[in-house]
Structure 1
Amino acid sequence: MTPPEDTPDVRRIAEDALAWADTRRDGFALGEDALAVDGEVDSSWKPLGELAQVCATVAHHTAPADPVHRRARALLEFAWQETGGGELFRRLQRLEPFATYPLEVYAALASAGFRHPAFEETAAVVARTRGWRLTEQDPTRRLGVLRAEERCGIHRPAQTPQLLSRTWLGGLPEPWTFERDAGYALTHVVFHLTDWGREPEGLPPDLVSYLADWLPPWLDTCLEARMWDLSGELLAVAAVVTRRTGDPPPLDAWQRLAAARRPSGEIPLEGRATDSTASEVTDGERYFLHHYHSTLMAAFAAVLTGARPAGPPVGAGARPRHGGQGAQA
């Protein structure tokens, strides 16, 4: 990864974040309850899946000789080994055939070249059932499931536009209605439409224009509130948008996020560096859960920022403005 000359610190954020994740592999490891129906998915499969997704994107946007690429590939190998070379996905599917998280985690690894043909074959069978297709999910989550299906060779044409129109971002809402839940929803809509930053052209022009106008004040609001996790996700969206518009990355926002880093490169979900979590034992489970996602998102956003530019700006001339009066988030 060769970042632009005006973003030297962004590269370091990615390096330090992945280095911290590498030293905390035990936190990402699957426990003995990984196959339990009542197991804690949010503290087992979710961290591992997020590690795989971020590292897959990092590996995609970096050269094989790059140390960041090599670390990302090593973490992907670790994640694949934790799943028993994909065999745990097949076993999970037998236990919970209509659970979507096994397919979503598998798809992240599949995007980096790790495949288990037997799981994909049975996943395709389950995906043809009415029970799978009629599982009730919010539109943003459904977009994610569709993306996971596509990575596994299951195609459902013409569904994305209809789903997009039902999401918060797809409706181009009044900018002052932005709040935390809307922020997380909009970032994931962007991630799903662009295959986690691999296909920036997947973001429709009207959303590019809307986000170019209103993302800066939303990001400023989140940074001011010390919402570091959501700020990292918004910086990833900013990297996608600026690749489409040709605008420079928000370096002032990166400086503010960098100031929240702990000495080993990790970033807390939210709050001050002097909050209670800062004084906890740094290798404890609670500390890990309070830092891993925001740290991974910082690495993800940093690599996408360093991957600029990706092509000519969207449209010509001045961008249309959206939403009337100023954005008060």
Structure 2
Amino acid sequence: MTPRLSPGTAGIARRGLLLGMAWLNENLQHFAVRTVTSQRFDKHHVAQLKPLTELALTVWMLKRCGLELPVLDATASWIWQQCEHGRKLVALLLARHDFLPCCALYASLRQLGFRDPALDRVLRLLARADIEAALPLQPWSRLAMRYNLWQLGLTKWPGQEGGLYIATRPEPWVVSGEVAYAITHEVFYLTDFGARELEDVCVTDYLRAWLPYWTRAFVDANDNDLAAELAMVAACLQASHDPASTQGLHSALAVQREDGAVPGPDGAGSFLFAEGDTAAHRDFLGCYHTTLVTLMAAAMTLRNSTI
């Protein structure tokens, strides 16, 4: 039987979800992708897709956790319109084959029921090309790309990906933002966001033992972005009934604003700033990611509960 959450955790998770969904609905236009007038695509154009990609993942994850709300379906349709029903991604990938990792956006949209045959053909060709294995990516980033290609039916399950941080179970006291980012994302993809168990029991035991301590470090540093991501990891490992493993979710929701946003750490989103940004848009960029991961952490934590 799945362990129950404490009533307090379940209550704040539900309240946080409702507030966060209200914030998403009010701020949807800030996720819009600006029109690219040039035929040349650079990393700045791809960076514009980051918030939209993370929004698509969040919508899919909330629905996967059992939230069947009309606003989620409406948001998914709006995201697909932002992609020009796939045409925008086709143009990007034909111009820049090395931007194959942007298949993440389409992977979530496919799970949400949207499909473009032309985009399918382009991705099928690129997934089979030599560039797929040669791209200079961090191990966790390569895992992410192959996980998303797997979701699209274009490659095998990436469970044997080499060079991953968690596979070596390094000294747990060596933790930083970069290390935590690798840990969280490797767990997300290797567990299919909690749908699968990790294949190595020793890695699972290592993560469950040290997850509360890593979370405490980022809570103390007021980094609720990584604290919430670590709460997602706890849910992926079926450890979210443990109060020590839900402290990241509690920390993020404790600072949730009345409008539903969860502030990010200092400097969050600043690499997405552009000339002419309004103060409201920069506020959005500073909190959107932490808000999204908090929503996913709350939904995944509730999913694991029998309440």
TM-score normalised to the size of structure 2? 0.86
**Corresponding residue to 1:47 among 41, 48, 51:** 51
What displacement does 1:46 show?
0.3
The residue aligned with 2:90 is 90
1:58–1:300 CA contact under 8 A, matched in 2: yes
How far apart are residue 213 of structure 1 and its match? 0.5
Q: 1:135 to 1:193 in 2, by over 3 A?
A: same
**1:57 deviation in Å?**
0.7
Q: CA deviation at 1:259?
A: 1.9
**Structure 1 position 294, deviation (Å):** 0.2
Given residue 140 of structure 1, which amino acid in structure 2 is its aligned partner? W
Distance, in Å, in 1 between the alignment partners of 2:123 and 2:46 is 22
Mapping of 1:304-315 within 5 angstroms? 304-309=300-305
**Larger deviation: 80-89 or 36-45?**
36-45
Q: 1:291 & 1:42 partners in 2: Cα distance?
A: 20
- Kept after mapping to 1: 8 A contact 2:228/2:248: no
Residue 221 of structure 1, aligned match among 212, 217, 234: 217
* Identity score, percent: 27
Q: Counterpart in 2 of 1:161?
A: 160
Q: Does structure 2 conserve the Cα–Cα contact (< 8 Å) formed by 1:126 and 1:132?
A: yes
Alignment-mate amino acid for residue 20 of structure 1: W
The 1-side partners of 2:46 and 2:289 are apart by 11
Tell me which residue corresponds to 2:127.
127
Q: Is the 8 A contact 2:181 2:226 kept in 1?
A: yes
Give the counterpart letter for 1:160 in structure 2: G
Q: Which residue of 2 aligns with 1:259?
A: 254
Given the superposition, is the C-alpha separation of residues 247 and 229 from structure 1 closer, same or farther in structure 2, using an over 3 Å criterion?
A: closer
**Could you say which residue in structure 1 is the equivalent of 2:226?**
230
Shift of 1:72: 2.2
* TM-fit CA distance, 1:21: 1.6
Q: Does 1:285 align with 2:281?
A: yes
Please report how far the alpha carbon of residue 32 of structure 1 lies from its aligned counterpart in structure 2 after TM superposition: 1.4
State the 1:15 CA deviation: 1.7
User: Residue 197 of structure 2: SS of its match in structure 1?
Assistant: helix
SS in 1 for 2:80: helix
Partner of residue 189, structure 2: 192
Q: Specify every segment of 5 or more residues in structure 2 that has no aligned partner in the other structure, as ranges.
A: 267-276
CA shift, 1:40, in A, is 2.1
248 and 21 in structure 1: CA distance in 2 versus 1, 3 angstrom threshold? same
SS at match of 2:236: helix
Aligned letter for 2:171? E
Between 31-40 and 230-239, the greater mean CA deviation after superposition: 31-40
AA aligned to 2:87 is: E
User: CA 1:204/1:74 → structure 2, altered by over 3 Å: closer, same or farther?
Assistant: farther
Compute the displacement of 1:156 (Å): 3.7
Match of 2:118 in 1: 118
Q: Which residue of 1 aligns with 2:197?
A: 201
CA distance in 2, matches of 1:177, 1:299: 28
Question: Which of 11, 17, 21 matches 1:14?
Answer: 17
Output the CA distance in 2 between the equivalents of 1:200 and 1:241.
9
Provide the secondary structure at the position in 2 that maps to 1:201: coil
- Give deviations 1:182-239, integer Å, cap 9, x for gaps: 0111100011112233x14246422221111000011011001100111110111111
Matched residues in 1 for 2:62 and 2:19: separation?
13
Distance 1:141 1:153 in 2: 18
User: Which one has the bigger helix percentage?
Assistant: 2
Q: Which position in structure 2 is the counterpart of 1:239?
A: 235
Instruction: State the one-letter code of the partner of 1:212.
Output: R
Shift of 1:61: 1.1
Do the aligned partners of residues 27 and 203 (structure 1) sit closer, same or farther apart at CA in structure 2, a change above 3 Å counting?
A: farther
TM-score by structure 1 length?
A: 0.81
Matched letter for residue 189 of structure 1:
E
The farther-off stretch of 225-234 and 110-119 is 110-119
**Structure 1 residues 17-47: Cα deviation after superposition (integer angstroms, max 9, x where no partner):** 1221221111100101387513624652000
1:65-84 equivalences under 5 Å are 69-84=69-84
